[in-house]
C-alpha cells in the first residue's frame, strides 16, 4: 500500500481538484471496498498483494480530499466548528 500511495497520491489529488473532493472521496471508498471485498475470495499470495495494491490505490483518492473537503465545509462557518472542536 505505501508504494501505491507514493505512485498515485499526486495524480489522484489532481482528479480531486478537477472533479471535486466529494467525488474523489466516494470513488476512493468504492475502490477500497472492491479491494477489501476481493480479500474474501482470493487464496493466492500474489492476488493478496494485488488486493492490497488496489486498497492503497483507493486510499490515495480519499486521503487528501477528506481533509480538504472538511476544510471547505468549515471555511464557510468562519471556523466555528473548528473552534468548538479544539476547545
Per residue in 26-55, pLDDT tens?
999 999 999 999 999 999 999 999 999 999
**Exposed, middle or buried by CB within 10 Å (0-12, 13-18, 19+), for 80?**
exposed
- Could you tell me the pLDDT band of residue 83, with boundaries at 50, 70 and 90? low
Q: Average pLDDT over the chain, rounded to whole?
A: 81
Average pLDDT estimate for 49-75: 84
Q: Structural domain of residue 9, as residue ranges?
A: 2-86
Q: Which one has a higher pLDDT value, 4 or 49? A: 49
Domain count, the chain: 1
Using alpha carbons only, what angle is made at residue 77 by residues 75 and 83, rounded to the nearest 5 degrees?
Answer: 90
Per-residue cell: 39:
480479500
For residues 45 and 36, give the distance between their C-alpha atoms in angstroms, rounded to a whole number: 15
Residue 77's pLDDT is 64
Secondary structure class of 7 (helix, strand, coil): helix
Amino acid at each position: 500500500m505505501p508504494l501505491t500511495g507514493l505512485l498515485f497520491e499526486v495524480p489522484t489529488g489532481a482528479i480531486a481538484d478537477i472533479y471535486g473532493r466529494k467525488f474523489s472521496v466516494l470513488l476512493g471508498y468504492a475502490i477500497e471496498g472492491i479491494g477489501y471485498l476481493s480479500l474474501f475470495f482470493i487464496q493466492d499470495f500474489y492476488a493478496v498483494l494485488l488486493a492490497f495494491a488496489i486498497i492503497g490505490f483507493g486510499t490515495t483518492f480519499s486521503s487528501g480530499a477528506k481533509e480538504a473537503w472538511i476544510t471547505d465545509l468549515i471555511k464557510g462557518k468562519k471556523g466555528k466548528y473548528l473552534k468548538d472542536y479544539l476547545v
